[in-house]
Structure 1
Amino acid sequence: MYKKASLLFLVAIAYSCSSDDSSNYVEIDPYAAITATFGGNINPESLYNYANQTIPGYITKDNTAANSITNKGATLGRVLFYDKNLSSNNTISCSSCHQQANAFGDTNIASTGVNGTTGRHSMRLINTRFANETRFFWDERAVNLETQTTMPIKDHGEMGFSGTNGDQNFNDLITKLSNIGYYKELFMFAYGSEEITENKIQLALAQFVRSIQSFDSKYDIGRAQVANDGQPFPNFTTQENQGKNLFLSPPVFDATGNRTSGGLGCAGCHAAPEFDINPLSGNNGIIGTINGNGIDITNTRAPSLRDLVKTDGTPNGPMMHTGVITTLQAAVGHYGTINLAPGNTNLDVKLRPNGFGQQLHLNAQEVNAVIAFLRTLSGTNVYTDVKWSNPFPN
C-alpha cells in the first residue's frame, strides 16, 4: 500500500508492508536528481509557460504541425539544448552556437564544434515557429525542425556522435543519457517512461526552439494599433514609417533592371508581420564559402528578420551563411546592387528583373530609413526571459 502526497510518494518498507504504522514509510522524491542538478532553476511542480504564450492576433503562420508545445516537453528540450553531454567530449551544446545573448545566434562567423568549426554561420533561432518555410539549415536539407535538431549532434565536426571517423554513434549517446539521473526523471516526467529515443529528443528540442518567440518590439506596439501594415504606425517616426513603406512596396524596374520608382521589395522574400523567408526563395546573391573554396549556391533559407540587431543597434552576430555582412547598412547595400555572378544558376528570380541583376539606386535617405525600420523589429524579452536560459548552475 502507498499514499501520494503532492509529488512525493510514500513507499512502505518491505519487511513491514502490511503495517499501518506511518513510521514504516520513507519519502521517495521522483525528482531528486532534477533538484540536485538544477536546484530552483527547474521546478516540476511549477513549470514556466511555454505552451500558452501570448501571440499577437496578426500573426497567422505556424509550423508546429503535430508536435504541439507542452510545458513538460519544452522543459526537457531546454535541458537538452543546454547540455554539453550531448557532445562526444562534453564541451559543446546546442547553446554553444545559439546563444540567448545574441538572439540565439553566434557572434563568430563559424561556430566551434568538437572537431573543428561549422561550415556555415549559425542561424539565429527567433520565431522559427512562425514561418511558412518548414525546412531547416541554410540549404534546407532538413525537412522539418524535428529532423534538424539531432543532425548537428550526429555531425562529426559539430557534436561528434556521427558513427564515422572513429566517432561513437547516436545509440551510444542514448546509452550515455540513459545513465544520467536527471534524464531518467525528465523523460518519465515528459513522456511517462524513462526510455530515451531519438524521436523523443527531437520532439522535445523542437518544442523548446519553437517556444522562443519575440513579439515585444516597437514594430509590434505599432502594428497592434492599426488594421494592416500599410497604414502609418502612430508610434513610428517619419523615418521609420518611410522605411516600412520602402520595405513593403515592390520596386518598378526598366528593361535593364534599374529601379525607376517604387520601394525596395524586401517583403517579396520577408513578408510582414512574421518577416520569415518565402519558401520559394532562391539564392540571394551571396555565393561564397567560409573557407573560401569554390562557390555555394544552395543557400536559399534565412532566419526571420526579427532581432537582426539589439534595440541599441548592436548586431546579433554577422549575417548570411558566410557571415560576410556585419551591419544593416551593408545588408541593405548588398540588395541595392545585385551582380550576376558566373556560376550562380540559382539566383532568386526577384533579384534579376528582366534577366538583369537589380539596381535599386538607393539614396542615403532611403538607406537610413530602411535601417531605422529594421531596428524596430527588435525586442528585449528574448535576451532575458529565464525560461529560455541555461538551467545548469554556473
Structure 2
Amino acid sequence: MKTKTLLLPALLLLLNACSKSDNDPSAYIPVDPYPAITAAFGNNIDMESLANYANQPIPPYITRDNTVGNPITDKGATLGRVLFYDKNLSASNAISCASCHIQGNAFGDAAESSQGVNGGTTRHTMRLINSRFGVERKFFWDERAPTLEFQTTQPIQNHIEMGFSGTSGDQDMAGLTNKLQNIAYYKELFTFVYGDEQVTETRIQNALAQFVRSIQSFDSKYDAGRATVPNDGQPFANFTPEENQGKNLFLLPPQFNATGSRTGGGLGCAGCHAAPEFDIAPNSGNNGIIGSLGNMALLDITNTRAPSLRNIVKASGALNGSFMHTALPTLQAVIDHYNNITLAPGNTNLDPKLRPNGFGQKLNITPAENAALIAFLKTLDGADVYTNAKWSSPFN
C-alpha cells in the first residue's frame, strides 16, 4: 500500500502534464526569444553563446590602445558586426561597410576606388586591421574624424558612398535610423544590447566602433619571433638572415649628409610606423604623395593618416590592395617613392623626417636592402583575420 501511495501522485502529475500538453501544446514547446535574429542569421549568431570580442588575447608587448569611453563588449560588437555587413545601411540597399572593407583583403579593398551608391570614392579605402592599437585616435586619410566612433557613420552620410547625406535628394541620418527601427532583427538586437529597441546614431557608432576595434591580427611570423625576445632590436630566431636584416633597416634611423643623401644607418621606417604596433605616429606630416585619386595634378596635401602596416601583404605575396590614398599599385612603388622624395611645389605639409637638412631624402637603397625590407614586411601578415567567422558576414 505504501508503494501504491507513492506512485499515485506521480501518475496523476504525468496524466495532468499530458492533458495540459494536449490542450496547450505551446506550453511545452521551447519559445525562441529572438525569432527575427534566428530567421536572418541562423546559426551564424548564437545569442546564448556570443563570440569572444571583449577578451581576446593581446600580446604583452602591445601597449597602445585608442579605446576611450567605449570598451568592446561581446554584445556591442555582435550588433556592430551585423551593422557592418548590412546593406540596409545604404540608401540603395546595395552597399555595406564590408563592400569596401573586405575580410579577404584584411578589411581593405583590392579596387583602387571603392564603389558607392553614387559612384566611386575619391580616395583609396584604408585597411581596418588593428585600428584599435595605435596612438593616433583620428581617422580618415586627412584625420577629419576625431574618433573611430565619429568615423563609422561618415561614409553612411556621404552622398557617394552610402547615400544618407541629407543633400542632393538624399535622406539624412534620421531616415536611416527610422529605416533600421522598422527591421525586426534590429528591434531584438538593440533591446539585447541597450535594453530597448531605440535606434540612434550614437548607438550605431558605438557598436560599429566596437566591432572594428575587435578586428585584430597578432598571429604573424613577426609576432612569433617578437614573443621570444625582450625588444625588437634583438635578432628573431625564427627569421631568416634576410628578414632580420630587413627588420634592422626598418627600425634604425638613416644617417644623411648635408644634402639629404643617406650615407649609413637604416631606412627610418619606424620613425613614422613604430614597432610592434606599426601604426602611424601622431602629428605626422604628408608623406610626399600629393595628388588625388584619378587626378594626380589635383593638389591634395592633407593626407597624413595611415593604417597599420600589419597585413599589407598576404603570406602568399598577394597584396591586400594598393597603397596610399592614391592607390600606388605595388609595395615596390611605395619603396621607390620613399627612396627618392621630391620637394614638390605647393606641398607645405611634407613631414620634416622626409626632408633632412632641407632636402628631399635620398635613401640610396641597394637591391639587397630592397629585398630584405620586403621580406621583413611580409612577416607582418597573420592568417586568422582572413577567415575567422566572428569577423565574417552573419547573414544567411
Matched, 1:319 2:326: no
User: Following TM superposition, by how much is the alpha carbon of 1:28 offset from its aligned partner in structure 2, in angstroms?
Assistant: 4.5
**Residues in 2 aligned to 1:153 and 1:28: alpha-carbon distance in whole angstroms:** 36
Q: Determine the C-alpha separation between the residues in 1 that align with 2:229 and 2:298.
A: 48
Tell whether 2:236 aligns with 1:233.
yes
2:163 corresponds in structure 1 to 160
Which amino acid is 1:389 matched to? S
Identity %: 68
2:152 matches 1:149: yes
Structure with larger Rg = 2
Gap regions ≥5 residues in structure 1: 1-20
Q: Is the 8 A contact 1:69 1:207 kept in 2?
A: yes
Q: Which runs of 5+ in 2 are unaligned?
A: 1-19
* One-letter amino acid of the counterpart of residue 319, structure 1: F
SS of 2:315's equivalent? coil
4+ long deviations beyond 4 Å:
21-28
Equivalent in 306, 313, 316 of residue 309 of structure 1: 313
Match for residue 222 of structure 1 among 225, 229, 253? 225
Aligned-pair distance for 1:202? 0.2
Query: How far apart in 1 are the matches of 2:123 and 2:334?
Result: 18
Between the aligned partners of 2:202 and 2:280, the Cα distance in structure 1 is: 27
- In the TM superposition, what is the alpha-carbon distance from 1:299 to its structure 2 partner? 0.1
In the alignment, is residue 174 of structure 1 matched against residue 155 of structure 2? no
1:272 is the counterpart of 2:254: no
Amino acid at match of 1:223: R
2:9 — aligned with what?
none
The residue type equivalent to 1:45 in the other structure is: E
Paired position in structure 1 for 2:85: 82
- Aligned 1:331-342 pairs, distance under 5 A: 331-342=334-345
CA distance in 2, matches of 1:357, 1:246: 19
Shift of 1:330: 1.7
Amino acid at match of 1:160: G
SS of the equivalent of 1:260 reads strand
Count, aligned residues = 373
Residue deviations 1:345-394 (CA, integer Å, cap 9, x gap): 0000000001000000010000000000000000100000000001112x
**Alignment partner for residue 289 of structure 2, among 251, 262, 286?**
286
Over the residues paired in the alignment, what is the CA RMSD in angstroms?
A: 1.2
Q: What TM-score do you get using the length of structure 1 for normalisation?
A: 0.93
Deviations, residues 295-348 of structure 1 (Å, cap 9, x unaligned): 10000000000000101110001000010x222222111111000011100000
CA distance, structure 2, for counterparts of residue 286 and residue 348 of structure 1:
11
Distance 2:240 2:222 in 1: 11
The answer as to 2:364 corresponding to 1:361 is yes
Q: How does 1:1-394 map to 2 (within 5 A)?
A: 26=27, 28-292=31-295, 293-323=297-327, 325-393=328-396
Q: Is the 8 A contact 1:315 1:326 kept in 2?
A: no
Separation of aligned partners in 2, 1:168 and 1:329: 43
Amino acid at match of 1:221: A
Paired letter, 1:304? S
CA offsets 1:247-297 (integer angstroms, 9 cap, x no match): 000001111100111000000000000000001210001011113151100
User: How far apart are the structure 2 equivalents of 1:180 and 1:267?
Assistant: 47
How far residue 29 of structure 1 moved from its aligned partner, in angstroms, is 2.7
Amino acid at match of 1:268: G
Secondary structure at 2:255 match in 1: strand
- The one-letter code of the counterpart of 1:67 is N
CA distance in 1, matches of 2:90, 2:386: 25
User: 2: CA distance between counterparts of 1:280 and 1:153?
Assistant: 27
Which secondary structure state, in structure 1, belongs to the residue aligned with residue 263 of structure 2? Answer: strand
